[in-house]
Amino acid sequence: MAKDNKYNFSKEEKELSGGSSVIKGAAIIGIAGIVVKILGAIFRIPLSNWMGDLGMSYYQVAYNIYLALIVMSTAGFPVAISKLVSENIARGHYNNAHKVFKTAVKIMAVLGGVSAAICFFGAGILARAVGNSEAAGAVRAIAPALLFVPILASFRGFFQGRQNMNPTAISEIIEQLFRVGFGFALTLLFLSTSLPNAAAGASFGATAGSLAALAFMFLVYYMHRHVIKREIDRTDGYLEDTKNIIKKILVIAIPIVIGAEIIPLMFSLDMGIVMNRLQDTGWTELESQKLYGLMGAYCNSLTNMPEFLIQAIAISMVPAISRASARGNRKDVESSIGIGYRLTTLIAFPAMVGLMVLAKPIFRLLFPLKVDEAMLAIPTFLVMCISIVPLALYETSTGTLQAIGKQIVPVKNVAIGAAVKIVFTYILVGIKSINVVGAAMSSIIAFMVAFVLNELAVKKYTGTKIDFVKTYLKPCVASLIMGAGAYGTHFLLSKFMPNSLSTALAILAGVIIYIIMVVVIKVATPEDLRELPKGEKINALISKFVKWEA
């Protein structure tokens, strides 16, 4: 099999290919994700203050339609492109890897064009269909993004396939910066005219952001065009038929798209079951709406926070595993899978424990005007926090299976998990003393079932055995100690400090304690940290305080 060093690639070519490990790739995408999330929060809060509930309803209609259409174009295609590009590069077929990319751009342009046309010309019909005809302008303003984002996804998939996560990370930040900047400017510009116009201005932010990010990715690609050409000239002339490439892309992408739609569909069905079962057990319609509303208003946004970091791990795992698998390097496949799982538990366990032990002070900090109502959501929230770990492991195992060409397997497994959730939601919510908490309990069961089935498949197809102590036990122990420290810090400080300051210091204490525990009980090793950006410097710093062989 072809090796990269066979061709004596230059420094430029090595930089283009990236060669990021799972850890480094996840760190790069994860940091970008944090920035994007912060910018997203900054965007939403002023919009709500400027436009109020009515104006935000127009914006939300447009954004929900956008999300529904964009998932069809982007959910599975970046993974497919990344996987096929990395496999071709592993075999030395740089010319075919580039053909995969060019073919994908054409497919995505067609899909994006159709989606954009439906959204733009059918804006009025779509807005009326969801009962909010005034949102038509906002829907029309966001329509061009449906063309730009799929093409952007092709470029991201191409660079991810080369294990170069920097362009994706930077483009995500650029996209969000332009979205926020244009969204703010146009909202304020049109606010004096009407709320529908202001909402359209806010929606156009997504269009401006996606166009700016696409321009950046094209610039990166253009700057490296001579390197790409030199790679192609140096490698063999192997080229697949275009129809065969399209077939391969669709075979990988379509099951992933279906899988991506199952979970939202599961929660949509779940909502109907919860509302009906609550009323079956004596709650009024209004009481049922309020009980279910507690989850959406106070729980979902917090428990979903770690998800973007987990997705960063999955994105990094796909090209790393695909490349190792294409080379027949079983050791590297197992190593990448093991690292991916460990990174997942390193994030998921402390997120779960930290949110649980500081739930009440965090709610008081975030919802000062609705404290009494927010406190009613605590029992549901605590149960939902437990689902963070199985959901994270499900997503990581799904990324693993996608990387080895078994993308249909996690679709079947999540469908089984969804069916299990529906059954348990019906049973548990029907117990009046449990009520809406039963929906949270059923989510834990559903994601655990899906993960266990995925894990059995990973073991079957790769033979990988996950180190239980290193992957599960050590992060769990470190997180529990962190949780005790964070809780104790808040308990003591809250006696003479305001909640906002004592909560912030408790979170900081938890982070410090967790980092110390990661080092002391060696949840992470010097070899792991070496793969991080500036990893050698991190190891050197740790070595000054503890025995740590860097």
pLDDT tens readout for residues 9-31: 455 554 455 555 565 666 666 67
**Which region holds residue 549: left if phi is over 0, alpha if psi is between -120 and 50, else beta?**
beta
CA torsion 513-515-520-524 (nearest 10°) is 150
Give the chain's mean pLDDT.
Answer: 83
**Length of the chain, please?**
550
416 confidence band (pLDDT: 50, 70, 90): very high
Of the listed ranges 64-68, 245-249, 379-383, 474-478, the one predicted with least confidence: 64-68
| Residues 490 and 503 sit within 8 Å (Cβ to Cβ) | yes
Percent of the chain whose predicted confidence (pLDDT) is above 90: 38
- Enter the tokens of residue 1: 């099999």
Q: What is the pLDDT of residue 428?
A: 93
| 79 has a pLDDT exceeding 80 | yes
| Residues 104 and 162 sit within 8 Å (Cβ to Cβ) | no
* Whole-angstrom distance, CA of residue 133 vs CA of residue 73: 26
Q: Return the closest-CA partner of residue 13 out of 92, 113, 99.
A: 92
Q: What is the pLDDT of residue 146?
A: 93
Q: Which amino acid is at 84?
A: L
The angle subtended at Cα 221 by Cα 93 and Cα 140, nearest 5°, is 120
pTM over 0.85: no
Q: What is the pLDDT of residue 169?
A: 85
| 4 has a pLDDT exceeding 50 | no
- Quick one: which H or E segment has residue 177? helix 166-190
297 confidence band (pLDDT: 50, 70, 90): low
C-alpha 497, offset from chain centre: 36
Q: What is the pLDDT of residue 547?
A: 65
- Give the residue ranges of DSSP H helices in 327-407: 330-357, 359-366, 371-376, 378-386, 388-403
| 538 has a pLDDT exceeding 70 | no
Q: What is the pLDDT of residue 2?
A: 41
Locate the DSSP E strands across 40-105.
none
**Site of tokens 């030199």:** 230
- Enter the tokens of residue 15: 């930089």
Residue range 192-208: mean pLDDT, rounded? 91
Of the listed ranges 122-131, 417-426, 449-458, 532-541, the one predicted with least confidence: 532-541
Q: Please, which residues have CB within 8 angstroms of residue 464's CB and are 6 or more apart in sequence?
A: 333, 334, 337, 338, 458
78 confidence band (pLDDT: 50, 70, 90): confident
**Site of tokens 């116009």:** 197
Q: Return the closest-CA partner of residue 342 out of 513, 465, 524.
A: 524
| Residues 281 and 432 sit within 8 Å (Cβ to Cβ) | yes
